[in-house]
Amino acid sequence: MPIHPLAGKPAPKEMLVDLARLEREYHQRKSDMADPSQRVQFGTSGHRGTSLNGSFNEAHILAITQAICEYRHSQKFDGPLFMGKDTHALSGPAQRTALEVLAANGVHTVIQRDDGFTPTPVISHAILTYNRGRKDHFADGVVVTPSHNPPEDGGFKYNPPNGGPADTDATKWIQDCANVLLNEKNAGVKRLPFVTALKTMTTRQEDFVIPYVNDLRNVIDMDAIRDAGLKLGVDPLGGASVSYWGPITDIYGLNLTVVNPNVDPTFAFMPVDHDGKIRMDCSSPYAMANLVKLKDQFRVAFGNDPDADRHGIVTPDGG
């Protein structure tokens, strides 16, 4: 495949997504169930698409969330559901929609306080921490993210009590149930207004950041990293990890610089990827071009995709 002429270069203004249109289409566009691309289709534990072509909209999230509630009931998962979102423009609206359904179904839901962003590994950590030593009343989770997909995309992933991606048995169950609900125009979906859902006894807002950061010392030798005196650089690529690197630096005394702290749902600061699209792919040298340019300033530099379950590494001799 030929490399696009803009690959590795700043995205021109005309390439940036129209955020107002994106959210308007999310709420107003209806799914055409005769079009297979507009049905719920689970890939790696979740559904992805864009409101601009009807493959990711409010109706999808209503149906998927109701299906998850019914799946939890079938599996007797009645612990809390931990839910996080990344920085894509559709992630906020989708999380709000999901909370409306979860609250209406009486699901105890925990979200990051102050409308913050949450990486996928943090939701996995919360699930595993809660379930440790339990024999029943298991927790599970949802991450609202399309991973490294372009800015116009949305995604909705389900994580069962093992904390990892849902297996194909679970995703097929949820997918099929959601499509039945969509075919019935979501008549079977329970829903509360968002303001009411946020205030219900079953919704809790907590801080995911500090418990996760504090627990890192139990799996990583942070003292060795600090004592080595490595000069570290991080580019969160505008993603959900942006609020985690500061506490990691402060708590563990690292020599670490966040080279790009910006959060912009158009991802206007991203270099264009190999195919001419904006894509926060930390495995792509084109998307990582800004960090590669700084490779001689750090012993090791990292890039994260928007939900921080992918990591690209840049070194002076391996940029």
Catalytic residues: 147
Alpha helices in 6-76 (DSSP H): 19-28, 58-75
Side chain identity, residue 149: N
CA dist list (Å): 133 to 56, 128, 136, 213: 37, 10, 9, 22
Distance CA 34, CA 198 (A): 35
HSE toward the beta carbon, residue 300, CA cutoff 13 A: 11
DSSP state of 254: -
Closest among 64, 243, 217 to 144, alpha carbons compared: 64
Distance CA 54, CA 25 (A): 8
Q: Residue 120's CB: how many other CB atoms inside 10 A?
A: 27
Helix (H, G, I), strand (E, B) or coil at 272: strand
Residues 6+ apart with CB under 8 A from 24: none
Side chain identity, residue 183: N
Q: Which helix (H) or strand (E) holds 143?
A: strand 140-144
Alpha helices in the chain (DSSP H): 19-28, 58-75, 91-104, 120-131, 168-183, 194-199, 209-215, 222-228, 245-252, 289-292
